[in-house]
Amino acid sequence: MFNVKDKSKLGAALAFVTGVLMTSLALAQSATFPDKTLNMVVNFGSGGVTDLMSRELARGMEADLGASIVVFNRAGALGTLGPGYVAKQAADGYTLAVVSASVITLTPHLMDVPFGLDDLTFVAGYGKNRFGLVVKADSPYQTIDDLLNAARGGKSLFFGSPSTSNSVVIFDLGSQSKSKFELISYKSGPDTTMGLLTGQVAVIAPNPPDVMSHLKAGTLRLLASASPARWPEFPNVPTLKESGHDVALEAWVGIAVPKATPGAVVARLEKSIQAAMSQPAIAASFLKIGADPAFMDGKTYTEFLIKEREVMGRLIKESGIARIQ
């Protein structure tokens, strides 16, 4: 018979052997990764800037990985459903989450989110997109001041938004100018644009792909860039800061995987994203979309998200932006 001490030693030995076997299995799987199709889950609807950026990234990664990537959309709850879904999938690197930075840095300050930084491993950041304030072409609001004056004195204006970052632009502007705006949420950028075109809302803070064709057709009008720089397509339209309002935002987008994904797999995915973003054709496609191609490694991107989460928390508190019900 084993005594207690023997049983304890046997348990420790079995745990050690199990650990070695699991590590060996993980290394073996990592060495052959990828050997089947990957899935990329976009957290916003089809046709929006995040979706278009993600499909171009997937195209570039396929060339580097030598494997197919199926892109599908899981939109809703201001971009939180997709990452929440991926966080619960197998931690093998075959299911990738597109995670807009705002989902980590902004949204948790405004609403309950079913996942957090501790549920995902961030592989890399792969691009940024711009914002603007847009109204219908026949809107009575010819300037930013016209818009803000209409939302003062007990009145309020409805605005449309598919995500927290698009929303915080207008909430921050309203808070600073003592103007009142009320949110109507949509599942994607194109849906939000349609809400503006049909008169459901008075103003939106879109990304370029969602409105560019309508701006060029003359059915919508850009009042101001809500990012640090003017839109190159409309160089005569000032930024909000140039118009006297201290609001400027640009949004990173990144890729994440379930938390326990092996480090070697994460490193291979990070390398693939960097390779994709170094391809001139992919960078050119981003610019055509209206997004800025960029790359940030996983460690740096995670640190950026943590720091930006603190900054945005202070901004929201100082601006008095209420939680979304």
Residue 56: per-residue pLDDT = 97
> How far are the Cα atoms of 120, 158, 249, 315 from residue 246, in angstroms, in the given order?
33, 21, 10, 12
CATH topology of domain 32-128+251-319: D-Maltodextrin-Binding Protein; domain 2 (3.40.190)
Q: Which positions of the chain have pLDDT values less than 50?
A: 2, 19-21, 23-24
Q: Are the beta carbons of 182 and 159 closer than 8 angstroms? A: yes
Give tens-digit pLDDT for 278-310: 999 999 999 888 888 999 999 999 999 999 999
pTM recorded for the entire structure: 0.76
Residue 155: per-residue pLDDT = 84
Residue 277: per-residue pLDDT = 97
Residue 20: per-residue pLDDT = 45
Q: Are the beta carbons of 98 and 70 closer than 8 angstroms? A: no
Sign, Cα dihedral of 183, 188, 189, 193: negative
Give tens-digit pLDDT for 66-88: 999 999 999 988 889 999 999 99
Residue 89: per-residue pLDDT = 98
Cβ-count burial of 39 within 10 angstroms (0-12 exposed, 13-18 middle, 19+ buried)?
middle
Q: Are the beta carbons of 48 and 161 closer than 8 angstroms? A: no
Sign, Cα dihedral of 127, 292, 159, 182: positive
Going by C-alpha positions, the residue among 301, 296, 255 that lies closest to residue 98 is 255
Q: Where in the chain is the domain with CATH 3.40.190.150?
A: 32-128+251-319
The three-class DSSP label of residue 205 is coil
Residue 129: per-residue pLDDT = 84
Element at 309 (helix H, strand E): helix 298-319
Q: Where in the chain is the domain with CATH 3.40.190.10?
A: 132-225
Report DSSP state, residue 227.
Answer: S
Residue 92: per-residue pLDDT = 97
The CATH number of the structural domain formed by 132-225 is 3.40.190.10
- Give dist(CA 256, CA 83) in Å, integer: 8
Going by C-alpha positions, the residue among 132, 161, 123 that lies closest to residue 305 is 123
Residue 311: per-residue pLDDT = 87
- Give dist(CA 176, CA 302) in Å, integer: 30
